[in-house]
Amino acid sequence: MIIKTIGVVGCGLMGGGITQVAAQNGYCTIVREASDELLEKGIGRIDSILAGNVAKGKITEDGKAEVLGRITGTTEFAAFGTCDLVIEAVTENADVKKEVFRTLDGIAPPHAILASNTSSISITELGAVTGRPSQVLGLHFFNPVPVMKLIEMVIGLETSAETVAVTRAFGESLGKQVIEVKDTPGFIVNYLLIPYLLDAVRLVETGVATREDIDTGMVLGCSHPLGPLKLLDFIGLDTTLYIADVLYDAFRTDRYAAPPLLRKMVAAGKNGRKSGEGFYIY
């Protein structure tokens, strides 16, 4: 099977990034948002990132126009009727994602692969709501998608070897390194990352160091590009809490128990960069 036309459900930070990278690599890309307003915002974001690349001399004006020309925005699921692969990148909520997968199953052609960009929800459960679980898998991209080189490919209990092979080839055609992991809560990256982030919040909570020194410790001591608290602000405190709760629910170990400070900050709307304040003010 050859993948030519991609569908992306959601044109937020992740869906928009996936749309941009697919179109930059020659794929006709259909992206769906819930309203014209959200669609305009999402495609506008892609436009300004590409404009930045033109200003830096990385692409030409013609190149930018070609990329944008490969993107079709829609508010209708019916537009996915011609896709070979549809990647879901809606909000991180199992019920919402299941509803999207049910809808996609009824619309995408029988040969189409359905992928989820979920960072924590079971791929096997998403596959189970469709009539094609062997063609369902996870494609977990990292933010910002155009910059981050990794895709975690998550293999559900029913995912077929053919689906894995075709999707790996697609991921590599985007210039990404693809790693494989069986469907397990948190996959590889969040299984390791979330306890580290929660521990950083515990250090703030117990007052043993300033947030600046906690971050500097990991930037200069371990060569991380961002310290844990800046990374929490970047990912979103609400998103991190959601993933931690999913992992806690699955494993029932203190490793994934969200500290009260994180829960309180989310309750107060201090969700990080996107809300203007988290551990730092933006």
Chain residues in the site for ligand CAA (CB under 6 A): 49, 52, 56, 119, 142-144, 146-148, 190, 225-226, 231, 234-235
Question: Which C-beta is closer to ligand CAA: that of 63 or that of 144?
Answer: 144
The end-to-end CA distance of the chain, in Å, is: 46
- Rounded Cα–Cα distance for residues 145 and 142 (Å): 5
61 is catalytic: no
- CA torsion sign for 53, 54, 59, 61 is positive
Residue nearest to ligand CAA (CB): 119
Measured from the CB of residue 56, what is the shortest distance to ligand CAA in angstroms? 6
33 is catalytic: no
Measured from the CB of residue 18, what is the shortest distance to ligand CAA in angstroms? 12
Q: What is the DSSP letter of 9?
A: E
140 is catalytic: yes
Measured from the CB of residue 64, what is the shortest distance to ligand CAA in angstroms? 14
Angstrom distances, CA of residue 173 to CA of 71, 80, 281: 17, 21, 38
Catalytic hit among 122, 125, 140, 158: 140
212 is catalytic: no
Question: Which C-beta is closer to ligand CAA: that of 5 or that of 240?
Answer: 240
Catalytic hit among 119, 120, 122, 271: 119
Question: Tokens 């619309």, residue?
Answer: 107
Q: Per residue in 173-195, is it b (16+ CB within 10 Å) or e — as a string?
A: ebebebbebebebbbbebbebbb
Measured from the CB of residue 117, what is the shortest distance to ligand CAA in angstroms? 9
Question: Which C-beta is closer to ligand CAA: that of 116 or that of 119?
Answer: 119
Would you put residue 112 in left (φ > 0), alpha (ψ -120 to 50) or beta?
Answer: beta
Q: What is the DSSP letter of 268?
A: T
Question: Which C-beta is closer to ligand CAA: that of 112 or that of 201?
Answer: 201
Catalytic residue positions? Answer: 119, 140, 152, 190
